[in-house]
Chain A
């Protein structure tokens, strides 16, 4: 047993299920490709062989037979090249699995040897993997034109740390690429392509993603006034969904007519902040007094109808589409939807967070006439290494629950000073000695200074405490 109270090896494997889920899925996909490729060639070769055997029946066709046989040999040759590429892929994936097993073997050995320093180092690489995962998922991508590969800060970090075999960044970057195109460039291209390549998985799950993506393309065509294109898209891509999504398609057809009026409508609807506040709190529209002239019956009818189209034209649809895509993508590879780094941080903060966190002692300090005493105490006694109190972590901790403690965890030799402050008596005495030694104070042998309010007490004032 080590003193870290860390989980066992198998638990670590389970925590890192994605390190094995992804390669396992990749192996299957690679096999699919291999198999399809073979099937295509196999059918073609069957035909070729049939022709060849007919040709061979007749001795007049010698020249043609040889040519046919040459064709066949060429096809087989091409097949061999293409298959061996896929087989190289297989070996790469298998090697990744092997490297990962080695990684956890290393942990197992450190744990069995109770090598705490080694374990901390191992956990640092573990943390780096989580950081890399987060950076790859969210980093902004840039294309390296020399090798035409996509890179981002996460991939740079992985390469600098030599972690390439432990994280499937190529898969994560694929998701990031589609996601960024959706959110930043409002470009559906990569998403539609992904949907086509993964349609079997999507239909199996009964996903709405394909329909929603196609609908979005239609809406964008309407938005940029390409009505002809929109109608064409509707007829070729959307009409086949008529039975499944009749309501959505009716609305979609409707915006073709009402689009312009919808735009005016949304301009009319620009609300003041006050109205928005009212709406968020009471969840209903504030009563508006319209000038009589606009209250024509025509207007009222129009208002009632147009609100239906709002959701279709909402810009948030892009965000929803992205979320829907990520859900499908991550579930395909059995990757957690939330960033693992955030999950670990949430659990870690809650395990650490005490009621004292974020209440720095520095706010309680009473300053001493000698600035040097203040500085010395501030730099040596006030700061805490508590990770939750760290200025970068504390804001993340705000809404998270506190740790649950069943026992007090205080310090040795607690003594109370007359002002009610309780300290470790030995440490308090040694602090006062050091202040004297630095020449900041002139305390007598039996005196101590309270570092918080700077009052001076005699050690005979110490009251031994019995906190349970």
Chain B
């Protein structure tokens, strides 16, 4: 359970920052109200003065009333102003200060070379093109490319791969599924094909056209559902049919969320078929950065108190545990003796017993190939000549 977010939300944003949260009334708001009330009072007194000004007694009363209301107003303004700044200060102390436990800059030890930032621009271009070509203004593909180029300087060489996908997505969002359905047929994607027809049937029912929906199901879905291999698809369809029978419709929000599911499925398939990245590289790097950040700040905090420095080796001094989909791109072999990752200069070697060690540890065990040695993991004896350079290769 999050305590800080809870405090900020429940205690402050939903209450203490306001005098009355429901009316969104703050201390400064109260000040403005007080100015208004004061103005009304002055106007009233002015009317009095116009009416009774000739009587010296009444004038005296008005004079006193004016002075009094001015004094009251001034003191209540000051009070409200004071409450306002006190509230801010307390908010800052309770909510903002705890957030500044560490500085972002403090973990930025290994800096990116400024001369290389033009590559970052390209990575940003690819990111925007991958995810947001469909928000580009423009009716035609060329107009979309032009928009991306003029707004973000994305070259069409990067954006052009995504234009067809963006067009199909935009059509889907306006309720036109034909192009996408055709694309599915061409690429023999039965499941998505089915889902799209199902989506259309859903939208017909939500528009309260049960007969159209029924006919559409009969025409486009019945055949697929009928096949014995596709039985699992029958369940949602039968639900839909049941709704027709009992005269219910489905909420538009449900159609919308199913549309989003379909868009996502389509995007995935489109990228897969066209060998486009499913996620932009920049996104994956940033995500790894977020996950790694906790370890970096922890290390930085320890480093500060124990005065150890960042190790000078070209390797991080700690392990960052990334999820499987971010960590299985390359085979990593750690030499079990030296606990070092093997490299081109220090490649892995296989012993006759098929245990694998790095070249460096092999050199140490065999005293640079001058003597026999026992495998550190089994009783088999070996010589350097009997070892074999190996190469780990990952097949997708």
Which residues of A does B touch, CB under 8 Å? 3-17, 20-21, 24, 27-28, 31, 34-35, 38, 42, 45, 49, 52-53, 56-57, 59, 62, 65-66, 69-70, 72-73, 76-77, 79-80, 83-84, 86-87, 90-91, 94, 97-98, 101, 104-105, 108, 117, 120, 123-124, 126-127, 130-131, 134-135, 153, 156-157, 160-161, 334, 336-338, 340-352, 354-357, 359, 361, 379-381, 383-390, 392-393, 395-396, 398-411, 414, 416, 420-424, 427-428, 431, 451-452, 463-468
Contact A34 B290 (CB under 8 A): no
Given contacts A84-B32, A409-B327, A464-B354, contact A346 B108 (CB under 8 A): yes
Contact A409 B328 (CB under 8 A): yes
**Does A351 lie within 8 Å of B322, measured CB to CB?**
yes
Q: Please, which residues of chain A bring their CB within 8 A of the CB of B294?
A: 7, 11
Among residues of A, the one whose C-beta sits closest to the C-beta of B99 is A17
Indicate if B62 sits at the interface (CB-CB under 8 A).
yes
Asked whether, in the complex, the Cβ of B85 is within 8 Å of the Cβ of A336, the reply is: no
> In the complex the two chains form, what is the Cα distance from A224 to B233 in whole Å?
80
Kindly state the separation between the CA atoms of A16 and B324 in the bound complex, as whole angstroms: 26
Q: A399 vs B332: C-alpha distance in the bound complex, in angstroms?
A: 20
In the bound complex, do residue A361 and residue B67 qualify as a contact, i.e. CB atoms below 8 Å apart? Answer: no
Most chain A beta carbons < 10 A, residue from B98, B102, B108 = B108
B320 on interface, CB distance cutoff 8 Å = yes
In the bound assembly, the distance between CA atoms of A10 and B179 in angstroms comes to 45
For residue B175, which residues in chain A have a CB less than 8 angstroms away from its CB? none
Chain B contacts of A338 at CB under 8 A?
104-105, 108, 111
Q: Are B285 and A348 in contact, CB atoms less than 8 angstroms apart?
A: yes
A residues less than 8 Å from B111 (CB atoms): 338, 342, 346, 399
Are A386 and B330 in touch, CB under 8 angstroms? yes
Question: Are B85 and A31 in contact (CB-based, < 8 A)?
Answer: yes
Least CB distance from A342 to B in Å reads 5
Tell me whether B26 and A345 are in contact (CB under 8 A): no
Chain A: CB-nearest residue to B62? A56
- Tell me whether B196 is interfacial, beta carbon within 8 Å: no
* Residue interface bits B272-289, CB-to-A below 8 A is 1, else 0: 000101110111111111
Question: Do A35 and B314 touch (CB < 8 A)?
Answer: no
Query: Which B residues are closer than 8 A to A by beta carbons?
Result: 2-5, 8-9, 13, 17-18, 24, 26, 28-29, 31-32, 35-36, 38-39, 42-43, 45-46, 49-50, 53-54, 56, 59, 62-63, 66-67, 70, 74, 77, 81, 84-85, 88, 91-92, 95-96, 98-105, 107-108, 110-113, 116-117, 119-120, 122-124, 126-128, 131-132, 135, 151-153, 264, 275, 277-279, 281-294, 296, 313-324, 326-334, 336, 339, 341-344, 348, 350, 353-356, 377, 388-396
The reply to whether B32 and A87 contact each other, CB–CB distance below 8 Å, is yes
Report whether B103 and A336 are in contact in the complex, using a CB–CB cutoff of 8 Å: yes
Residues of B within 8 A of A91 (CB): 24, 26, 29
Complex: A130 Cα to B285 Cα, angstroms: 12
Q: A69-B42, A161-B132, A396-B119 are in contact. Are A4 and B4 (CB under 8 A)?
A: no
Question: B81–A351 contact, CB under 8 A?
Answer: no
The reply to whether A381 and B395 contact each other, CB–CB distance below 8 Å, is yes
Report whether A392 and B31 are in contact in the complex, using a CB–CB cutoff of 8 Å.
no
**Chain B residues near A98 (CB, 8 Å)?**
13
If the complex has contacts A105-B5, A403-B315, are A73 and B354 also in contact, measured as CB distance less than 8 A? Answer: no
Q: Which of B107, B124, B391 makes the CB contact (< 8 A) with A131?
A: B124
Least Cβ–Cβ distance between A257 and chain B, in angstroms: 38
Contacts of A344 in B (CB 8 A): 285-286, 289-290, 293
Given the complex, which residues of B lie within 8 Å of A4, measured CB to CB?
Answer: 287, 291, 323
Inter-chain contact A354/B356, CB cutoff 8 Å: no
**Contact between B317 and A404 (Cβ–Cβ < 8 Å)?**
yes
CB of A358 to closest CB in B, whole Å:
10
Other 5 A-B pairs with CB < 8 A, given A13-B4, A388-B285, A402-B316: A123-B287, A134-B120, A352-B329, A421-B390, A463-B354
The answer to whether B342 touches A355 (Cβ under 8 A) is: yes
The winner among A72, A105, A401 for most chain B CB atoms within 10 A is: A401
CB-contact partner of A422 in B50, B122, B128, B391, under 8 A: B391
Shortest beta-carbon distance, A161 to chain B, in Å?
A: 7
9 contacts between A and B (CB under 8 A): A31-B85, A86-B28, A108-B2, A135-B152, A157-B128, A340-B104, A351-B289, A400-B112, A406-B319
A404 touching B31 in the complex, CB below 8 Å, given contacts A73-B46, A380-B396, A420-B389: no
Q: Is A31 within 8 A of B393, CB to CB?
A: no
Closest to A4 in B: B323
Contact A410 B333 (CB under 8 A): yes
B395 pairs with A342, CB closer than 8 A: no
* Interchain CB contact under 8 A, B286 and A420: no
Given contacts A53-B63, A393-B282, A423-B395, contact A348 B334 (CB under 8 A): no
Known: A15-B104, A53-B66. A396 touches B323 (CB 8 A): no
List A contacts of B348 (CB < 8 A).
467
Q: Are B281 and A49 in contact (CB under 8 A)?
A: no
| Chain B contacts for A3, CB-based, 8 A | 323-324
How far, in whole Å, are A401 and B299 apart by their CA atoms in the complex?
15
Q: Which of A21, A65, A108, A401 contacts B5 (CB 8 A)?
A: A108
Minimum CB distance partner of A337 in chain B: B105
Q: Once the chains are docked, how many angstroms separate the CA of A202 from the CA of B60?
A: 51
B332 touches A56 (CB 8 A): no
Judge whether A336 and B286 touch: CB under 8 Å. Answer: no
What residues on A are CB-neighbors of B321 within 8 Å? 5
Separation of A96 and B200 alpha carbons in the complex (Å) = 38
Q: Which residues of B contact A120 (CB under 8 A)?
A: 279, 287
Minimum CB–CB distance for A212 against chain B, Å: 22
The answer on a CB contact under 8 Å between A28 and B113 is: no
Known A52-B66, A346-B111; contact A403-B329, beta-carbon cutoff 8 A:
no
Q: A76-B38, A348-B285, A348-B289 are in contact. Are A131 and B127 (CB under 8 A)?
A: yes
Q: How far is the CA of A408 from the CA of B340 in the complex (A)?
A: 10
Q: How far is the CA of A5 from the CA of B295 in the complex (A)?
A: 11
Question: A24 contacts which chain B residues (CB < 8 A)?
Answer: 88, 91-92, 96
B82: nearest chain-A partner, CB-CB:
A35
Pair A343/B35 contact, Cβ less than 8 Å: no
User: Nearest CB to that of A83 among chain B residues?
Assistant: B32
Once A59-B56, A130-B286, A352-B326 are accepted as A-B contacts, the answer to whether A9 and B2 lie under 8 Å apart by CB is yes
Are the CB atoms of A347 and B31 closer together than 8 Å?
A: no
Q: CB-nearest residue of chain B relative to A117? A: B264
**Is the pair B284, A387 in contact by a Cβ cutoff of 8 Å?**
yes
Q: Are A420 and B105 in contact (CB under 8 A)?
A: no
Contacts of A27 in B (CB 8 A): 88, 91
- Contact status B105-A468, CB under 8 Å: no
Contacts of B393 in A (CB 8 A): 361, 421-423, 452
Do A124 and B332 touch across chains, with their CB atoms under 8 A apart? no
Closest to A7 in B: B294
Residues B28 and A343 in contact, CB atoms below 8 Å apart:
no
- Shortest CB-to-CB span from A176 to chain B, Å, is 16
**A468-B376 Cα distance, complex, nearest whole Å:** 12
**Contact present for A80 and B32 (CB under 8 Å):** yes
Known: A21-B100, A381-B396. A402 touches B354 (CB 8 A): no
